[in-house]
């Protein structure tokens, strides 16, 4: 990239752009110059036919040490057969800082272009700078710079004449940097022209304008003379006027003296009023002082009231907190009460049930006790009967020595004493013991039943003991 088209290094103000118009004959190389200077790639013509120009065809470049950016605006080539056409290009342009003419001074078409002197005259009348860049040859128009192009000779087929022709083809510019710097120097401090004037009108009217200018100067002289005469006249009338003013001033002084004496009287009255005012002011200030005192007192009592209010508010807040807590407690108590009520109802129901069970059990107990008593009585009876029979048997068979039967005594424990019994009696006793054992079993079973009933009754009423514990107890 050309360093002059790399704007990353540009240190000038972005808004400070110098707009330049590039004009010249068709095919003179305007677009080529713009492309090379600004690093653009707009279409160029082949030098014979006018190239169609894009709208707003322009490029920007800058030069080191120059703070501005330079904008080159390409223009449609001027057709030498069409004199005055170039003015269309310039007419109506605004925001332009300067004009660059690219000229091929050795081209015979330039001499045919009668416009060039007129353009030059037009430019001399412009307030913006103009620069002529000569592609080749030099004419008398200044300021100018020569630009040198490197070319090579090529042959091309010319379709019109149907044969090959040789042509100098453009390769590059040799002194492009020098040209750029020259452009930058020329337009360094150029100011904007807001509206380019119509060059034809300007050129044709220069003479007329000069004549008009002379006429105007003569008129100005006449007006000056007239003005001087009027000035003298005015001075005299001013003198008379000043005399009149003096008289009026004297009159005013007299009325001023009168006003001064009036003022004195007024001053006395004013003093009187001031004195009165001071008295009432003193009174008012006393009132104000007492009001201030009263106010002070009220403020103190207000502060006390505020403190009381604050205390009350604190208490109120505390009471509200307590109330809230009590509300919570009340809610809990109500809930507990309901639960207790429910439990109580359940317990009452259980008690009623237990009472019913108790009655049933008491009934069962009564009948079992009756049965037990009956059985005990029966046992006692049976035992007595058996003991009687035993005594009988013992008294019959326990005979003295020398009896007919031999009795084999056996030991038998009666009431803690060991006694000798005959064998038969022993068999009876064995039978008796067996009976006693079976009766004992029956009584034990009855006792167990009774005990169970007692336990069930106690458990149902007092809910203290478990049924299994009683079963484990020995009888």
Ligand X SMILES: Nc1nc2c(ncn2[C@@H]2O[C@H](COP(=O)(O)OP(=O)(O)OP(=O)(O)O)[C@@H](O)[C@H]2O)c(=O)[nH]1
Residues forming contacts to ligand X in the complex (CB under 6 A) are 24, 26-32, 44-47, 50-51, 53, 77, 135, 149, 151, 168, 170
Q: Of 53 and 197, which CB lies nearer to ligand X in the complex structure?
A: 53
Q: Of 147 and 361, which CB lies nearer to Mg ion in the complex structure?
A: 147
Closest C-alpha to 60, from 23, 29, 22, 94: 22
Provide the binding-site residues for Mg ion, judged by CB under 5 A.
Answer: 31, 51
46 binds, among ligand X, Mg ion, none (CB under 5 to 8 A by kind): ligand X
Closest separation in Å from C-beta 49 to ligand X? 7
Evaluate whether 72 touches 20 at the Cβ level (below 8 Å).
Answer: yes
Closest separation in Å from C-beta 32 to ligand X? 3
27 binds, among ligand X, Mg ion, none (CB under 5 to 8 A by kind): ligand X
Q: What is the dihedral of CA 260, 265, 266, 270, to 10 degrees?
A: 130
Closest separation in Å from C-beta 221 to ligand X? 51
Contacts 24+ apart (CB under 8 A), 354-359: 354/460, 354/461, 357/456, 357/460, 358/457, 358/460, 358/461
Evaluate whether 129 touches 98 at the Cβ level (below 8 Å).
Answer: yes
Pairing of strands 98-104, 17-24: parallel
Closest separation in Å from C-beta 123 to Mg ion? 21
Sign of the dihedral defined by the CA atoms of residues 270, 272, 273, 278, in that order: positive
CA distance 280 to 374: 132
CA distance 176 to 3: 13
Q: Of 79 and 461, which CB lies nearer to ligand X in the complex structure?
A: 79
Closest separation in Å from C-beta 121 to Mg ion? 25
Which residue of this chain has its Cβ atom nearest to ligand X in the complex?
77
Q: Of 51 and 203, which CB lies nearer to ligand X in the complex structure?
A: 51
Q: Of 33 and 60, which CB lies nearer to ligand X in the complex structure?
A: 33
Closest C-alpha to 78, from 111, 121, 106, 116: 116
Closest separation in Å from C-beta 209 to ligand X? 33
436 binds, among Mg ion, ligand X, none (CB under 5 to 8 A by kind): none
Q: Of 51 and 128, which CB lies nearer to Mg ion in the complex structure?
A: 51
**Element containing residue 286 per DSSP (H, E):** helix 199-397
């Amino acid at each position: 990239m050309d360093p002059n088209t790399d704007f990353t290094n540009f240190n000038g103000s972005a808004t400070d752009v110098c707009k330049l118009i590039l004009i010249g004959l068709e095919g003179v190389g305007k677009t080529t110059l713009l492309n090379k200077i600004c690093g653009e790639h707009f279409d160029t013509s082949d030098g014979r036919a006018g190239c169609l120009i894009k709208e707003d065809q322009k490029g920007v470049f800058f030069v080191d040490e120059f703070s501005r950016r330079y904008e080159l605006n390409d223009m449609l080539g001027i057709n030498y057969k069409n004199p005055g056409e170039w003015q269309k290009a310039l007419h109506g342009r605004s925001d332009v800082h300067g004009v660059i003419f690219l000229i091929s001074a050795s081209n015979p078409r330039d001499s045919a272009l009668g416009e060039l002197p007129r353009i030059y005259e037009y430019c001399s009348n412009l307030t913006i700078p103009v620069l002529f860049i000569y592609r080749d040859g030099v004419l008398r128009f200044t300021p100018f710079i020569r630009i040198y192009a490197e070319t090579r000779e090529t042959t091309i087929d010319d379709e019109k004449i149907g044969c090959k022709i040789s042509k100098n083809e453009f390769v590059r510019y040799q002194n492009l940097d020098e040209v750029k710097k020259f452009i930058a120097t020329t337009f360094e401090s150029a100011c904007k022209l807001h509206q380019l004037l119509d060059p034809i009108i300007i050129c044709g009217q220069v003479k007329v304008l000069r004549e008009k200018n002379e006429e105007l100067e003569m008129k100005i002289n006449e007006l000056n003379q007239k003005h001087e005469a009027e000035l003298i006249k005015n001075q005299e009338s001013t003198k008379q006027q000043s005399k009149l003013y003096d008289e009026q001033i004297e009159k005013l002084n007299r009325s001023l003296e009168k006003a001064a004496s009036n003022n004195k009287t007024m001053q006395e009255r004013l003093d009187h009023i001031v004195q009165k005012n001071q008295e009432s002011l003193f009174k008012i200030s006393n009132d104000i002082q007492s009001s201030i005192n009263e106010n002070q007192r009220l403020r103190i009592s207000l502060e006390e009231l505020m403190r009381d209010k604050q205390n009350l508010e604190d208490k109120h807040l505390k009471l509200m907190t307590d109330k809230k807590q009590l509300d919570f407690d009340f809610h809990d108590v109500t809930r507990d009460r309901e639960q207790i009520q429910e439990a109580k109802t359940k317990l009452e129901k259980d008690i009623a049930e237990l009472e019913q069970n108790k009655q049933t059990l008491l009934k069962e107990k009564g009948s079992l006790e009756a049965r037990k008593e009956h059985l005990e009585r029966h046992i006692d009876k049976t035992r007595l009967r058996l003991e009687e029979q035993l005594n009988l048997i013992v008294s019959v068979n326990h005979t003295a020595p020398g009896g007919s039967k031999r009795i084999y005594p056996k030991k038998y424990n009666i009431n803690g004493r060991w006694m000798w019994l005959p064998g038969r009696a022993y068999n009876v006793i064995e039978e008796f013991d067996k009976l006693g054992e079976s009766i004992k079993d029956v009584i034990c079973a009855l006792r167990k039943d009774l005990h169970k009933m007692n336990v069930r009754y106690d458990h149902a009423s007092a809910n203290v003991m478990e049924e299994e514990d009683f079963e484990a107890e020995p009888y």
